[in-house]
Structure 1
Amino acid sequence: MTTARPADPTTLSRLALRRFVLVAVWLPIVLVAVGVAVQLVLLPQVPATIAVHWNAAGEADGFAPAWTQPLATIAFGLGLPLLIALTSLPGLRRGDRGMTYRLMGATAAALSALVTVALTWTFVMQAGLDSSADAPTVWAALAASFLAAAAVGVAAWFLQPREAGTDAAATPAMPLALAANERVLWMRAVGMSRGAAILIVAAVILVAASAVVAWVTGADPVLAWLLTGVALLLLVFAETTLAFHVRVDDTGLHVDSLLGFPRFHVPLAEVTSAARVDVNPVGEFGGWGLRLSTGRRFGVVLRTGEAIEVLRRSGKRFVVTVDDAGTGAALLEALVERAATRS
């Protein structure tokens, strides 16, 4: 009787990288190439101006030159998946692993299928029409695109190998030497990475400008209020997550937004151990900001790199990315050790 040998980790990592590239890069390229080819073949048969937007009743209410549809298919059907791939590949090449990368690969493939099928279907259904005003309802195209996205996403998920994440509890830091009555304080400020901060600020400006335009031009009040609400939410998100103060003292770990909210406190009595770890936001937490992850982890994740990870007595883990994380973790270990000798 023979037993299956476990897969070699290096071989599995290479396979994961190759399969991710397959589903997040090559599959979208193939899907978009087929969709664009179909549109170009039918370009002489559609009206010069085609319907590109439908209202809630499924009726065409937005129009554009027909030649823009293939370009939109490339921009969104290929551009968005490639953006996902580009944010994930650096971590995969470093050796980061986890379910998030598998999900990102499946999402890229599904997104490409959704956009390509929707834009190609709506283009094909207008072939032979005398006017784009005669465009049929969009429901069939929407149903087909969502079904295609679901099928492609599930297939892309299972095409990628299953791998354990790199979220095992870290080795506790070596405690600093502290005198019995020594008072200590460690403080740092941490901000969102420049790239992520630029994206957030740009999103706030773009949505806010869109809201202003909607109000000034007399657009549908529902749309204007929706844009205003989204702009306000993005503004609150930016103000409360772009920068934090991190402090370690004899009461535990404190992580406070510059505005004072949100704020997090891990009391010293709840600390089982503290460690300095390296964090990849996309691979481990699915992005930046206040994030949940596997392994009962919650993090204030503002950038890639070093972080303090605290294991609570409940088994939950709190992570904050910050410079000089090794010193902060070592001080927490020392404070926990000193508190234990006093009790």
Structure 2
Amino acid sequence: MNTHARRPDDIRRARRAFLLVGLVAPIAIAAAAVVLILIWLPGLPDQVVMHWGANGPDGFGSPAMFVWIQVIVGLSIPLLMTLPVLATMRESWGITCRFLGAMSLGVSVLIAVASAGSVAIQRGDADGSGIGAVLGIGFAGMLVFGVIGWFLQPRVTTAQTSGRAAHLDLAPGERAAWFGTAAMGRTGVVFLVLAVLILIAITVWVLLMDQGAGWILAIVTALVILLIATTLVFRIRVSADGLRVHSIAGWPRWSIPASEITEARAVQVNPMAEFGGWGVRFAVDGRMGVVLRTGEGLQVTRHSGRTFVVTTDDAATAASVLNTAVKGVKP
């Protein structure tokens, strides 16, 4: 069980361990992989296999590409996974932060093994046929180091605050409704823009190096931008029918009937600590949410035990209206 952080020292200890596991160690691993690749480069042919398909090698390029891939991918992924946490989590901490630190370490090992291993199996007269073993070692290393990274970090969480499950006292025949908006906070917008700019830069670079793979990545980048655009602002409606949440683009949308709800509460939400970021997210503890900023949120628990969270102002009033609707449908 995670221990609740009651002192700033607990959070500082967690941040320090997260920094070492999630950023310092991955940078050292990436640097070691780059050194190995540079040492092995003279033993490679002028053109090496850069990509393996179902039928064997299907993409070729300069050996120097492996250096750039390791530098760019090996550094950008841990930076994207750790910098938002370090920048926003100064007074709170959560299990998701610990998970991201462990994942950053594990993924860095996978990238390093894949890059350096791809070079190793093509040295001298080798034909690069051992890529399957390289990937197997890489994924095994990701799992092992991910678990190690998890246990190297302290079990620290800040306690979640929530209001009581209140309801409204309505006169016979009266009905209540509540309308609100969930909009992405400034911090979330900044990090999403940075992530998109990095993705665009990588896409342009890959296009210049390999047009075939570049166009595939360009399509993926366009889809990512489209998905982000649909999750910046949501409309919320609470009424006797239950809870409805939908993007201003029309999709995605959720509808939870009052008959399926156990209770609603106003809670304090920290997207990074609890959900690992901003947007439509799933928490490690099983909750699902539209978490666009730090602060108030409406948390709805269903009869099945599933929990839905949406960040919004005046969440206490929304919870009271929804609890009143739930009370009205109970036998």
**TM-score normalised to structure 2 length:** 0.75
Distance 1:246 1:60, change over 3 A: closer
Q: Give the structure, 1 or 2, with the largest relative contact order (CA under 8 Å, sep 6 or more).
A: 2
**Match for residue 324 of structure 1?**
314
- Report the Cα offset of residue 249 of structure 1: 2.4
Structure 1 counterpart of 2:79, from 78, 82, 89: 82
**Match for residue 55 of structure 1?**
53
**Match for residue 171 of structure 1?**
163
Contact 1:23–1:105 (CA under 8 A) maintained in structure 2: yes
Partners of 1:174 and 1:36 lie apart in 2 by 58
The residue matched to 1:255 in structure 2 has which SS? strand
Distance 1:254 1:207, change over 3 A: farther
Query: C-alpha deviations, 1:179-209, integer Å up to 9, x for none?
Result: 5555543212334453576589889999999
- 1:275 counterpart = 2:265: yes
Structure 2 counterpart of 1:194, from 181, 189, 192: 189
**Match for residue 143 of structure 1?**
136
Partners of 1:309 and 1:184 lie apart in 2 by 19
Partners of 1:267 and 1:60 lie apart in 2 by 52
**Match for residue 24 of structure 1?**
22
Q: Which has the larger radius of gyration?
A: 1
Aligned-CA RMSD value: 4.2
Contact 1:113–1:149 (CA under 8 A) maintained in structure 2: yes
Q: In structure 1, list runs of 5 or more residues that go unmatched.
A: 1-5
The residue matched to 1:93 in structure 2 has which SS? coil
Q: In structure 2, list runs of 5 or more residues that go unmatched.
A: none
Report % sequence identity.
35
Distance 1:180 1:290, change over 3 A: same
Deviates more, 1:235-244 or 1:250-259: 235-244
Contact 2:48–2:61 (CA under 8 A) maintained in structure 1: yes
Distance 1:143 1:296, change over 3 A: closer
Structure 2 counterpart of 1:185, from 148, 172, 177: 177
What letter matches 2:254 in structure 1? F
- 1:311 counterpart = 2:307: no
Partners of 1:15 and 1:126 lie apart in 2 by 44
Deviates more, 1:159-168 or 1:26-35: 159-168
Distance 1:204 1:61, change over 3 A: closer
Partners of 1:200 and 1:84 lie apart in 2 by 10
Query: Within 5 Å, which residues of 2 pair with 1:225-236?
Result: none
Query: C-alpha deviations, 1:301-332, integer Å up to 9, x for none?
Result: 34443211123455443211223334323444
- Report the Cα offset of residue 7 of structure 1: 9.1
**Match for residue 31 of structure 2?**
33
